[in-house]
Amino acid sequence: MLLHLSTWPEVENYLHTSQGLIIPIGSTEQHGPTGLIGTDAICAEVIAEGVGEEIQAMVAPTINVGMALHHTAFPGTISLRPTTLIQVIEDYLTCLTKVGFTRFFFINGHGGNIASLKGAFSQSYDYLAYLNLPQADQVRCQVESWFMCRSVCEKAKELYGDQEGAHATPSEVAITQYVHPKSIKNVPLSEKVASDYPIYGAVDFRRHYPDGRIGSNPALATPEHGQQLYNLAVKELCKSYLKFLQRN
């Protein structure tokens, strides 16, 4: 079930059977010369919807803009500050807790979101308790990044070896190719790609990673790979979500 394609009575009925909600979160940021700017949100959304369909769980609208300040020297990137993202998550959780949701499972598509999400969870637990909302002490949050699923990592290693890299990876590009085959980009890529520089500010990031990639070769991506990686992520995250719902 997609929350944004449901009516309020349907959501109310759902809450009689489950208090769990899957929330996809990604980013709107550069992904090298061939990666779509919406890659992180596209991957998180399609995988979250796959999980929801498989186990009949409700899926919230995707949070498309995350914390990507270090990518903002590249045209098209949109970012929230960490403090803003934390406040956005707190506002989401407050509204949803008021009506009865207590289990929030974030399927994440961008590594830069993780620290802010964990900070948001801690802040939200405290704020919900301060508001004295019913069941506030029952609220639980968890973030799972699809690209860190064990089965996905193993398949990416098998398919791409050391050319998977850390950003604008062939695995994430492959999933976008599977989802949006008409938007596949084919442009020449430099054989030399930077890696291993620490991430600081946006200008420094672009100086060290001039085409936006970090150690990756997205030219290896195919839609067929994307389907394989999607299936693995959905299967593994279904298990993680059901286990999360059972936790006290």
Q: What share of the chain is helix, strand, coil (3-state, %, to 5)?
A: 55, 10, 35
- Which helix (H) or strand (E) segment holds residue 173: the answer is helix 170-179
Cβ atoms of 187 and 235 closer than 8 Å = no
Give the whole-angstrom CA distance, residue 14 versus residue 232.
Answer: 27
CB neighbours of 173 closer than 8 A, spacing ≥ 6? 31, 34, 35, 36, 39, 218, 221, 226
Q: pLDDT tens digit string along 139-195?
A: 999 999 999 999 999 999 999 999 999 999 999 999 999 999 999 999 999 989 999
pLDDT for 154 equals 98
pLDDT tens, position by position, 30-55: 999 999 999 999 999 999 999 999 99
From residue 36, alpha-carbon distances to 13, 47, 68, 75, 221 in Å are 37, 17, 15, 12, 13
DSSP string, 27-55: -B--BTTTB-TTHHHHHHHHHHHHHHHHH
Residue 21 DSSP SS3: strand
Confidence at 5, pLDDT banded by 50, 70, 90: very high
Q: How much is the pLDDT for 247?
A: 87
Handedness of CA 164, 71, 24, 83 (dihedral sign): positive
pTM strictly above 0.85 = yes
- Range 3-246 classified under CATH 3.40.50.10310: yes
Q: How far is residue 26's CA from residue 69's CA, in Å, rounded to a whole number?
A: 14
Q: Cβ distance 37 to 16 under 8 Å?
A: no
Q: Above 80 in pLDDT, residue 248?
A: no
| C-beta of residue 118 within 8 angstroms of C-beta of residue 143 | yes
Res 133: pLDDT: 93
How far is 175 from 178, CA to CA, in rounded Å? 5
